[in-house]
Every structure is written in C-alpha cells, then in structure tokens.
Structure 1
Amino acid sequence: MENTTKTKLGFLAFGVALLVSNASIYYSLNQKASRDSLNETDGEVALLADRVIGVEGELGELTTLTLEDIDKFIMDNPEVVVKSLAKYRFEQEQLSKQKESERTESFMDQLYNDDSDPYFGNPNGKHVIVEFADYNCGHCKRLSPTLEQFVAIDPEAKVIMKEYPIFTDRPTSAYAALMATAVFYHKPQSYEAVHKAFMKTKLTREFIDQTIAKQGITKEDLQPHLDRAKRQIEKVRTLGAQLGVRGTPTVFVGKERRGANVTASQLKAMFTN
C-alpha cells in the first residue's frame, strides 16, 4: 500500500511539473508574439509550440489522475510548484544569457573598434569597457565616478563612450551628446573633462555651452564636426537597437553585459584575475 501511495505521489508530482511547464511555455509563446521588435525567428516559436504539444501528450498518458488528485497534491505540496517554477526561471535566464552573449559577439567590432567613438583613458589600453550612456541618466551619473576611478587605478583602462541619448523629453540629452562628440572630434584631449562635467550636474543648454567654452572651444570650432557627430549618434542608436540596449547605463565588458552595480576594483579584476 505504501509503495502504491508513493508511486501515485510520484505521478502526481510529474503531472504538476508538466502542468507548470506547460503554463510556462504558453507564457513564452505569448511573450514571443508580443516582441516582434526583438527579431525572434518563427523557428523558435515553432519549437516552443512543439514542446507544448509534447507536454500535452505526456499529460494525456496520466489517465489515472483526476483534477481533484492534482489539486489536492498541489495544496499539500506547494513546494513542488515553487521548485518547478524556480527551475524554469533559472533555465530561461541561462538561455537568455547565452543568446545575449551570442548576439553581442556578432557586434564586437562595432562595439570596440569604431574609431568615431569618443573615449577616455589609455588610447591603447587593453582593458576596454564600453558604456551606453545618457547625460541626463541618474544611474549614469552615479556610475561616472566609478569609471573615473577605474581609469585612475588601472593604467590599461580605456572607456569607450557610446553617446546614447534616450530621454526624448529632455532636449539637453541629445544636445549634450552632440556637443560632447563634436568636442572629441575637434580636440580629443578635452573630451574627458567635458564628459565628467556633464555627468556631475543637472544639465542646461547654457551650462553645456559654458563647459565647452572653458576648454577654449567655440561653437564655430565645433561647427565643421556637427554633421559627423550626428551621424555617429544615429549609428550608435542603431547599434543599441540591434543589441537590445533599452536603458542606460549599459556596460559591456567583453561579451558580458552589465548594469551600474559595479565597482572600479571589480572592473579591474575582470581583466586581471
């Protein structure tokens, strides 16, 4: 009798796991359908659909179970559902990271080898990170001192800036990105000072102009570089869309994508450990 009970419980657990898996897969299908902008392929959706059919077939074989059996088992053993969902989420996170890494690998040259990107640090540094940033982004402003410290403690550090104005309701985002990029083209050695100043305070158009003027640069000096700067910012927008960069700051270290929660020592350790 005891073995029969254990066997039944085992089937119940299996049935519950399949139900949870089925629900999760249907959720994934719905998510796929609503994310056309991510360029998911029809093949991926078809694969998920096949998994649903497979799960339904397996459930159909558990003919001895009733809904009451499964309902009672769930109520008596809620941890089964929790564990099943946790496992599914973990697997999905790992799959997402793998896809993200593969996608990033396809754009490594555009990320790290675009001579039109502003940068600060060692021009020939081997410890290179890339940041997509908006000068009106609060998290970008908080990350900025960390990147400055990274450059200060690591002689091989180089920070490539992808000027990525995302706050369309704040005109100073686009203006600051445009002017900072033009400064880099006109007088590269002044870019770091301008960049740091923009990151340290709330921006106004007047402050942007005054900061640049303090570097001995006039608007007339920058005029010949504005078209190139505009093209570069648009190119960065396209790259960001291709990489799925939806917010700032987004930091790339090799193929790995990171947010703002990192220290200068951790950045250095990624290259030296």
Structure 2
Amino acid sequence: MLTRLISGPLLALALGSSAAATDLASMTDEERATFRAEIRAYLLENPEVLMEAIGVLEQREQQAQANADVDLARAYQDALFNDGFSYVGGNPEGDVTIVEFMDYRCGYCKRAFPEVEELISADGNVRFIIKEFPILGEQSVLAAQFAIATQQVDGDEAYKLVHDALMTFRGDITLDSLSRLGEAYDLDSDSIIAEMNSDAVNGIIATNRQLANQMQISGTPTFVFDDQMLRGYVPLDQMELILAEVRGN
C-alpha cells in the first residue's frame, strides 16, 4: 500500500502540483535517491499526511467494492429474487426485497436473526428471501438439508418453524437432534430425514453455492437489499438506514 501511495497522491503532495508531470523513470540514480530521501523526510515530519492518504485510498477502495457489488446484485436479480424454491417470507408483495445467505452454525447469523425478524415485522413492507448457504462444516450441511427437506415435505410454514428453531439452536446438530426438533413441531421427522439427501435438496444447496460463487460471496451472513449488498453482520439501526436509502433511490 505504501508503494501505491508514494506513486500516487503522496508524489504530488511531496513535489508540488508540477509533480504530476514528473517521470521518475527519466531521473538519474542520484536524482531518484534524492527524491526518495525527500519523501522519507517529509513523511517523518508529517506522518498525519500518510494516514490521511491511507484513509482516502481505503474510501476509494470501499466505494469501488460497493459499486462492484451493485453490479453483481443487478446482474443476478432473477436468481436472487425468483429462483422458485427459496423460502419467501415477510410481505410477498413488499416494495423492497431482502435476501439473506445464511448458515445455521454461523454465530453472526444467529446474532442477526432477531434483528432481521424485527426489521421485517416492524416495517411490514419487506419481501424476505432465505438462501441456505452451509459453509461451516458437516453440521451446517445437515441443518440446511433438514430445513430444505422440511419445506419439500411439509411446505413453507413448517420450513419457517424449523428455520427459526435452528437459528436459536445451541447444541450439536445430528440426525437425532434434528429428528427431535421436527417432532417438537409435530412434523414427520422420518419422512423429512429420508428426503435430506435427495437430488432436489442437494440441488438447491448446490445452486445457492454456485450463485454465491458468481456473486463473490464467501461468508455469512450476506444480505442483498434490492441492489445493495451487505457483507457480514449489520446492526438493526444500520439495516433500517439502508432500507430507507434503497426506497429513496
């Protein structure tokens, strides 16, 4: 990063406005040595300039990433919003669609869960889509398979019950614990477990993973608010601000 800064904003800062036209390659060895010494002396005398330049660079990189994320969200809107198999909750006719890529073993997903529920409930006009994206090991895969199989066997209402229970579940995820969870909601756990390794269930997980890869999503939770992508946990108040910003656009 230091090399990038010296070759850009700090070069002009150190040598003045005419520095933009300076060709370092045309300098003699002695001139380059003198130039480097002057840059070093300047930074030692004014270290705050370096921090300021780093801040500007980071802001530019963050903005570039945000712009790239908007392009990705727009490019894959149909797969995000209309795949035909993901659970759709909240208000199906809502004016803003939120998609969450999540993993039942993800601590930040669990932390975000009640805040996402509050956002959707309080707003009343959000369409909410869940993308099962198990990336944290075998237990994550088992949980996702069970949730999707529940949807396949018993429908969306049963899926949401199981989803919510898994988001607050703290123990090890095994076939026995999943069976007990299903029985607690009077579901046919045997039928659900039999469906877990079906082509339909595993195909959904594979499709979600492919979409995540195409969108350069590697962690959970990741949210998409229409065309705004939020990578990682975001507190409720910030989600509310982003929701208002999306509507304002």
2: CA distance, partners of 1:62 / 1:18: 18
In structure 2, the gaps of 5 or more residues are 10-19
Contact residue 162 and residue 182 of structure 2 kept, 8 A: yes
In structure 1, the gaps of 5 or more residues are 1-16, 25-54
2: CA distance, partners of 1:263 / 1:120: 18
Query: Which residue in 1 is equivalent to 2:17?
Result: none
- Alignment of 1:214 with 2:179, yes or no, is no
What SS is found at the alignment partner of 1:165?
Answer: coil
1:199 to 162, 167, 174: 167
- Alignment of 1:82 with 2:57, yes or no, is no
TM-score w.r.t. structure 2 length?
A: 0.78
Contact residue 225 and residue 246 of structure 2 kept, 8 A: no
Contact residue 130 and residue 159 of structure 1 kept, 8 A: yes
1: CA distance, partners of 2:169 / 2:92: 27
Query: Which residue in 1 is equivalent to 2:141?
Result: 174
Query: Which residue in 1 is equivalent to 2:15?
Result: none
Structure 1 residues 111 and 23, CA gap change in structure 2 (3 angstroms): same
| Superposed displacement of residue 23, structure 1 | 8.4
Contact residue 21 and residue 88 of structure 1 kept, 8 A: no
Structure 1 residues 148 and 83, CA gap change in structure 2 (3 angstroms): closer
1:232 to 204, 212, 227: 204
2: CA distance, partners of 1:78 / 1:60: 26
2:63 to 69, 94, 98: 94
2: CA distance, partners of 1:125 / 1:228: 28
Q: What is the identity percentage for the equivalent residue pairs of Structure 1 and Structure 2?
A: 25
Query: Which residue in 1 is equivalent to 2:88?
Result: 119
2: CA distance, partners of 1:146 / 1:125: 18
What SS is found at the alignment partner of 2:159?
Answer: helix
What SS is found at the alignment partner of 1:252?
Answer: strand
| Superposed displacement of residue 261, structure 1 | 1.8
What SS is found at the alignment partner of 1:125?
Answer: coil
Structure 1 residues 184 and 77, CA gap change in structure 2 (3 angstroms): same
What SS is found at the alignment partner of 1:72?
Answer: helix
- Alignment of 1:148 with 2:123, yes or no, is no
Query: Which residue in 1 is equivalent to 2:223?
Result: 251
Cα deviation digits, residues 4-30 of structure 1 (max 9, x gap): xxxxxxxxxxxxx98724389xxxxxx
Equivalenced residues, count = 225
- Alignment of 1:58 with 2:23, yes or no, is yes
- Alignment of 1:22 with 2:7, yes or no, is yes
Cα deviation digits, residues 186-245 of structure 1 (max 9, x gap): 221111111111011224223322222233322443345732111001100111111111
1: CA distance, partners of 2:93 / 2:180: 31
Q: CA RMSD in A?
A: 2.9
What SS is found at the alignment partner of 2:23?
Answer: helix
